């Protein structure tokens, strides 16, 4: 056993694991601490109706995006740690926290607005990313129902975003979960559309409300081929009665072209970056209460 041969033995043993694997294991341990120590936080990126000016009621929703407030490395974006969380199965715990945190935040905003006589019907929705592993848990839909009840967030203000990865893993379960959460009034989005396999049969067979065009198509919009693909996606979505959100709008020109093509909704750095809760909710109502910790 490595330990009994002294420190040198431990090092040799560790080296035999390979750097990558050792790093991942260390990261997984840190992630466990992060859950315990409440080091995660949610940022919120606004989603706008492209036809309206931002100040004239164009704000339609927020996408909740996780960040890790790392004690030594600062604010980390999900690409730095979510792959490890998925590999180690911790994604289910982290995902539960995200769902609850986002619904709580929205319930709070809703309560603040209605208490001040503002129209809740004009509230933006909250869109929450759900990893395949989390979405395909047998208890997922009942868990969603419990969180809705416990937080008191109006279900029609909640959207769940999944990628087609769920359908590739288990199309039948995906369909069932989508139908269940829709029964409770929650809407669903197919995220990153156009990447991966994008089998059109998913669109035909799965009850999504919204399709999010992956930002790779928006980034390459100067290329006429990309614009043709975007047009085709918009056409398809319109025929299937799906609403469309374009992701990753970084320039005025991209926003204008998308609007011209009839794309109804968009998000991206040009329209608004992901913001902390207080800054994001101030877009809805400047006097919204700061988050209660
Ligand atoms: P996503 O769901 O496609 O989220 C959109 C990502 O694009 C976000 O990156 C956002 O910050 C970024 N983005 C938005 N506008 C622009 C733009 O104009 N230009 C560019 N270059 N990027 C833009 P982020 O926050 O780093 O998240 C990356 C991915 O991590 C997300 O992609 C999602 O797949 C995953 N993720 C984030 N939060 C969660 C979460 O709470 N749970 C799960 N399961 N996954 C999450
Ligand atoms: Mg997303
Ligand atoms: Mg996306
Ligand atoms: Mg993405």
**Separation of CA 111 and ligand 4 centre (Å):** 31
pLDDT in tens, 81-101: 999 999 989 999 999 999 999
Cβ atoms of residues 203 and 240 within 8 Å: yes
Q: Residue 14: which pLDDT band, with cuts at 50, 70 and 90?
A: low
Mean per-residue pLDDT over the chain, rounded: 89
Query: For ligand 1, what atom is nearest to the CA of residue 274?
Result: 11
User: Lowest mean pLDDT: which of 25-29, 76-80, 221-225?
Assistant: 25-29
From CA 276, how far away is CA 43, in angstroms rounded?
A: 5
Q: What is the pTM of this model?
A: 0.91
Cβ atoms of residues 8 and 231 within 8 Å: no
77 lines ligand 1 (CB under 6 A): yes
From CA 199, how far away is CA 209, in angstroms rounded?
A: 17
**Separation of CA 278 and ligand 1 centre (Å):** 19
As a whole number, mean pLDDT of residues 139-157 equals 97
Q: Residue 126: which pLDDT band, with cuts at 50, 70 and 90?
A: very high
Cβ atoms of residues 46 and 33 within 8 Å: no
Q: CA–CA distance from 84 to each of 68, 112, 168, 266, 267 (Å)?
A: 13, 37, 21, 30, 27
Q: Which two tokens stand for residue 266?
A: 């968009």
Cβ atoms of residues 246 and 263 within 8 Å: yes
Cβ atoms of residues 42 and 64 within 8 Å: yes
Q: CA–CA distance from 62 to each of 34, 56, 209, 266, 276 (Å)?
A: 25, 17, 16, 11, 11
Of 83, 89, 91, nearest in space to 24 by CA: 83
Indicate if the alpha-carbon torsion angle 154, 156, 158, 160 is positive or negative.
Answer: positive
- Residues of the chain above pLDDT 90, percent: 75
As a whole number, mean pLDDT of residues 173-189 equals 97
Q: Residue 230: which pLDDT band, with cuts at 50, 70 and 90?
A: very high
As a whole number, mean pLDDT of residues 1-8 equals 43
Return the bridge partners of 46, or none: 62
More confident residue, 205 or 179: 179
CA-nearest residue for atom 19, ligand 1, is: 248
273 lines ligand 1 (CB under 6 A): no
User: Is beta strand 59-70 parallel, antiparallel or unpaired with respect to 243-246?
Assistant: unpaired
pLDDT of 1: 36
Q: Residue 106: which pLDDT band, with cuts at 50, 70 and 90?
A: very high
269 lines ligand 1 (CB under 6 A): yes
45 lines ligand 1 (CB under 6 A): yes
């Amino acid at each position: 056993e490595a330990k009994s041969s002294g420190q040198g033995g431990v090092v040799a043993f560790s080296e035999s694991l390979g750097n990558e694997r050792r790093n991942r294991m260390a990261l997984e341990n840190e992630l466990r601490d992060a859950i315990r120590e409440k080091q995660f936080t949610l940022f919120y990126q606004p989603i706008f109706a492209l036809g309206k000016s931002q100040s004239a009621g164009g704000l339609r929703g927020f996408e909740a995006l996780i960040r890790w407030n790392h004690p030594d490395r600062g604010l980390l974006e999900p690409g730095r740690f979510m792959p490890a969380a998925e590999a180690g199965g911790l994604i289910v715990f982290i995902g539960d926290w995200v769902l609850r945190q986002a619904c709580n935040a929205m319930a709070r905003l809703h309560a603040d607005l209605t208490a001040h006589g503002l129209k809740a019907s004009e509230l933006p929705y909250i869109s929450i990313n759900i990893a395949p592993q989390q979405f395909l848990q047998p208890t997922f839909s009942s868990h969603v129902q419990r969180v809705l009840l416990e937080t008191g967030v109006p279900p029609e203000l909640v959207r769940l975003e999944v990628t087609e990865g769920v359908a590739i893993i288990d199309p039948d379960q995906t369909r069932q979960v989508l139908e269940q959460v829709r029964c409770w009034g929650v809407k669903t989005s197919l995220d990153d559309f156009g990447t991966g396999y994008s089998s059109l049969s998913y669109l035909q067979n799965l009850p999504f409300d919204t399709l999010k065009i992956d930002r790779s198509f928006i980034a390459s919009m100067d290329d006429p081929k990309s614009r043709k693909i975007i047009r085709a996606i918009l056409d398809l979505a319109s025929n299937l009665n799906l609403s469309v959100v374009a992701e990753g709008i970084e320039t005025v020109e991209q926003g204008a072209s998308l609007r011209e093509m009839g794309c109804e909704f968009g998000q991206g750095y040009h329209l608004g970056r992901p913001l902390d809760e207080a800054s994001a909710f101030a877009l809805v109502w400047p006097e919204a209460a700061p988050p209660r910790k």
